[in-house]
Amino acid sequence: MLALDLPGHGTRAHERFTLEGAIRAIDDAVASFAVAPLLVGLSLGGYASLAYARRHEHKLAGVVLAGCSTQIKGKPLHAYRHASTAVTRALRLGGGTWHVVTDMLAALAGYSPIDDLRRVQLPVWVVNGRRDPLRLDERRYLTARPATRLRVVPRAGHDVNSHAPVAFNRLLLDALHELRSHEPRLRMPAVAL
């Protein structure tokens, strides 16, 4: 297993987030494995994972998308971008990491996860906390790609992996087990974002 920081996060906090930069970072991580890994992404990492899977699905065994079941566009995007910019200015947050939110909104402004989901052929799991306010379009995800496996974790919010780590890890193990059942000789690694 490899835990990867996307641009603007953790060890890469000094980098500005762009979707292209995130896809390059994921590709570098995936290239470090001898066999195709299960790609796991939470929130922004989930959107980046899906965008990566659309372009490079031949390099993956499957993808788990957690906390990223909302189309980020239209009036909600405009309102959120306006609010985040106002908060940044009002609280003088320019020196911190708040720019990641505004960078993310700019990077995903024209991105449609549902369009990418329709096009990928590899196994996809969508994992959401029941209390996550960002699961607005999870049913649209299933309509777009009926083979998608939806798992909703009770008593968990947006950070489903932190709110319910045992349940989340069990779902990851189930996904790995399902992938291995199709190819039992492989040891399936995972990349987590």
pLDDT at 98: 60
Phi, psi of 39 (to 5 degrees): -95, 125
- The distance of Cα 81 from the centroid of its chain, to the nearest Å, equals 20
Enter the tokens of residue 51: 């965008």
pLDDT at 47: 95
Rg of the chain over all Cα atoms, to the nearest angstrom? 16
> Which parts of the chain register pLDDT below 50?
75
Residue 54: domain span = 2-192
pLDDT at 153: 98
Q: Is 74 exposed, middle or buried (0-12, 13-18, 19+ CB in 10 A)?
A: exposed
Q: How many domains does the chain have?
A: 1
Distance (Å, whole) CA 174 – CA 64: 11
pLDDT at 2: 85
pLDDT at 8: 86
pLDDT at 96: 53
pLDDT at 134: 84
CATH number at residue 174: 3.40.50.1820
pLDDT at 78: 59
pLDDT at 81: 57
pLDDT at 191: 65
The answer to whether 125 touches 151, Cβ cutoff 8 Å, is: yes
Stated pTM of the model: 0.86
